[in-house]
Structure 1
Amino acid sequence: RVRPRRLEPDTLAYLQEVNASFLENLKDGDVETSRMLLWNVLEEIAPRVASAASDRHACEFIEVLVDHMSAQQLRFFLHKMEGYFSHLWTNRYSSHVLQRLLSKVGAIVGKEVKGEADDDDDPDRAADVPPMSSLIVTMCSEVQAEWLTLINDVSASHVMRAVFCALAGRAPVLEKRGKKGKHKALQFQSAQTTAERSLVLGSSDGRLVELMSDAHAGPVLSMAVRVAPSAVQSKVIFKLLKWNDPERSSQRFYDFAADSVASHFLEAVCHSCDEDVWAAIFERCLEGRLLEFSEHPISNFVVQNFIQRTPTSDLAETVLDELQGALWSLLS
């Protein structure tokens, strides 16, 4: 894992100074000066972008600048991070910077998909910078061999969830920082990706079972199910449930439903799968056992979600027929 050099005190002092000037220009409404100042800062810290993003104090200044960067500036900024992504994903400070950046790339990639030009504020400075879509692919390729390590990491797992959302065209939720932290939504054209496939379908069954209950990895796998392209979603679900073995898959569903982390995967399944998959899972794993699941303090939430997402009237009647005789037990 390649780590950037420690940020020099002079660079930190420079960022602190220009950050104050930048915010002052924003208050004055001087858009052009702010744009030029951003470019000057980017060119000044270009060799030290990864160092600045990883620094405890500098990262806050970097996040402010990211919030106001143009499309070309964001591409320039991300391009300068190449070679350090493994470190940047796992560093507690730079991971926040990456999440903030990923929350802004949607509109940029959307224009690229449509063949539209971006803001084109300084084509000379960004002349050799690849499109944002290519930069995201490069970032993923750089860390691809470390998926199973990163998914367990307290910082990288959040970046991975943001990347999955970006690749699938969903809106990731940024972590809040302090009382005034705000969520940023991502608008992204849907893109085909093998990220979920390589992460889930290429992993051993035993390893996946361990990951499902992990506080960091479990939510990533749940997110992978929610945003996976329809062509691979059922494969991901059936792989995680060991569907080729009826007895083991039923037991695995039972175990997952009672787990405080893995149960969220089952909730993600019922909210994102198609009617056929929902019916298959219900008939094998839930039908005839709804009361048993409903009486458990964790699995009852799984039952609630499955009932809420019942896809057909016939299946709804099946659920009601089973539960109506247990009404008083459920209310007691």
Structure 2
Amino acid sequence: MDFKDYYQTLGIAKSASAKEIKQAYRKLARKHHPDVNPGDATSESKFKDITEAYEVLGNAETRRKYDELGANWRQYEQAPGGPGGGANPFGSGWPFGDGRWTVNMGGAEARAGGAGDPFSDFFHTFFGGAHEPQRRRAPRNKGRDVEQSIDLTLEEALHGVQRRFSIATRGQARTVDVKIPPGVSDGSRVRIAGEGEAGVGGAAAGDVFLRVRIAEHPKFRREGRDLHTPVDVALTTAVLGGTVEVPTLEGPSLTLKIPPATQPGQVFRLKGQGMPGGRSHGERGALYATVTIEVPRRLSDEQREHYEALAEIERPGKSGRKKRRARSNA
């Protein structure tokens, strides 16, 4: 049998004290115990190795023989008159093969045997009930989460809405009341706790996530908490100034003052007329109104006459200002 470096197995120096050996063993045993890693053959093998290493190094007498004889220490243990009257505690390479085993923890021994589970009994003895893993019981797995979509209008996203929603889980359709908070955005997810697939072994059920889809609005475009909308301004109002009505998502329009010489594409900000946001949903964004100049498609005779007069005035070399100056000089 190949020589096993038990110091390397426990990750300690050959000069390690009994306390350091014990600490190293406890740390590794917690990590690789089969009850902590069910079904993991690598961890179980590692656990066997570190337990074997501690059984030797944790006992002052066997450690001394191991240090003095190196690879031959097992033969010493098996020789007639050797410790244990010729009994080889590691003859099989694994000390717990007969179902009865003893581990020394610096004076304290843990003994188990028979039909019990040595791993669980061992773990309870040395790490206490607070750290005892669940023993040989059905796995507990949280239920699967379910994701569905929900369609909203922009107005519903503004105010929030309560819907009765059909959810298909656990092989059947169910209806639940869903409260959508104000200010949800397109693509966001609303969580309904415990309404997903049932858990396994008594574990909690999964959750339902509703992915929000907000329909495009004919008048408003959303950017975060802000809304954008075009506002038509008559040509004369843009030139001379005046007022226009700006629609809002909540319904009532607002009166907006247009200063003289307003240009196409000019943007006016209406504070607090956007979407709610923030933790309290009380902080609302703004509504941005972008000016579009409304050019009349049809003109009355009187309007045409005035526009023609204006065009005559604005014609190069024939401005009304120059004519007035000429008359005043006369």
Q: TM-score range, shorter-chain basis?
A: under 0.3
Report the TM-score, using the length of structure 1 for normalisation. Answer: 0.17
* Greater C-alpha radius of gyration: 2
Structure holding more strand per residue: 2
Structure holding more helix per residue: 1
Report the TM-score, using the length of structure 2 for normalisation. Answer: 0.17
